[in-house]
């Protein structure tokens, strides 16, 4: 009788330990998943970070090349961001970046890829999108951001961006770096033109 009780107790203990191990494994997997997501996400805006962007962008480009599609990119930069930060505080600067990120995300398709890749710099990669459609998306982002100001201590503060647009029809020899470089050059010209505008590479 005592032996049966001991065996039953050992079995119950074994089951309990297995359950705890299983539960701990699930929690570790969940923690690992969260950590991996955080490593690829910009904490402030919730968009992809630079690392995640390039990982996903290269996969998108492979598909675009295989399907012989065009591809477009937008480089978006907050205008006068240092002055906004210095004048109204870093927390206000954070609000500016969140506003820009939200407007970008709301203006693009589900298949498009957007990321914050620098301090106040954002990128959008649009597979199977021509230059004309990319310009329309850029104009939508520009208008949505500029038409609604942010408030600071009862004062309305205007927020604007400059956008560089590039597109590539023949993707046989293109790279993500080349696409981004062209959009970045277009962004530089938009800044030189006076900001709050779009320039096409």
**What confidence tens digit (pLDDT) does each residue in 42-64 have?**
999 999 999 999 999 999 999 99
**Other CB atoms within 10 Å distance of the CB of residue 110:** 4
The domain spans of the chain are 1-39, 50-200
Give me the pLDDT at residue 28, please. 57
Say yes or no to pLDDT of 188 above 70: yes
Rounded mean pLDDT, 1-12: 64
Give me the pLDDT at residue 53, please. 96
Rounded mean pLDDT, 23-41: 62
| More confident of the two residues 16 and 31 | 16
Say yes or no to pLDDT of 31 above 90: no
Give me the pLDDT at residue 18, please. 77
Was domain 50-200 assigned CATH 3.30.70.270? yes
CB 179 within 8 A of CB 71: yes
Percentage, residues of the chain above pLDDT 70: 88
Alpha-helical regions (H) of 40-89 = 50-67, 81-88
CA 41, chain centre distance (Å): 7
Say if strands 113-116 and 121-127 run parallel, antiparallel, or are unpaired: antiparallel
Say if strands 161-168 and 198-200 run parallel, antiparallel, or are unpaired: parallel
155 to each of 17, 85, 88, 144, 145, how far by Cα in Å? 61, 15, 10, 20, 17
Catalytic machinery residues: 120
* 62-117 pLDDT per residue, tens: 999 999 999 999 999 999 999 999 999 999 999 999 999 999 999 999 999 999 99
Cα–Cα distance between 79 and 123 in angstroms, integer? Answer: 15
Give me the pLDDT at residue 148, please. 86
**Other CB atoms within 10 Å distance of the CB of residue 181:** 15
pLDDT band at 36 (very low <50, low <70, confident <90, very high): low
Single pTM value for the model: 0.81
């Amino acid at each position: 009788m005592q032996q049966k009780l001991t065996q039953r107790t050992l079995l119950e203990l074994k089951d309990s330990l297995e359950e705890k191990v299983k539960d701990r494994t699930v929690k570790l997997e969940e923690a690992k998943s969260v950590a991996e997501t955080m490593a690829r996400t910009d904490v402030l805006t919730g968009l992809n970070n630079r690392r995640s962007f390039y990982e996903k962008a290269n996969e998108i480009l492979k598909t675009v090349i295989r399907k012989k599609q065009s591809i477009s990119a937008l480089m978006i930069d907050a205008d006068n961001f240092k002055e906004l930060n210095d004048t109204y505080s870093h927390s206000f600067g954070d609000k500016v970046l969140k506003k820009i990120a939200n407007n970008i995300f709301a203006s693009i398709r589900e298949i498009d890829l957007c990321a914050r890749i620098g301090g106040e710099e954002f990128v959008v990669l649009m597979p199977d999108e021509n230059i004309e459609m990319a310009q329309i998306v850029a104009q939508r982002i520009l208008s949505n951001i500029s038409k609604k100001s942010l408030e600071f201590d009862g004062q309305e503060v205007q927020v604007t961006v400059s956008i560089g647009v590039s597109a590539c029809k023949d993707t046989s020899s293109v790279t993500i770096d080349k696409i981004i470089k062209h959009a970045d050059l277009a962004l530089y010209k938009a800044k030189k033109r006076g900001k709050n505008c779009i320039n096409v590479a």
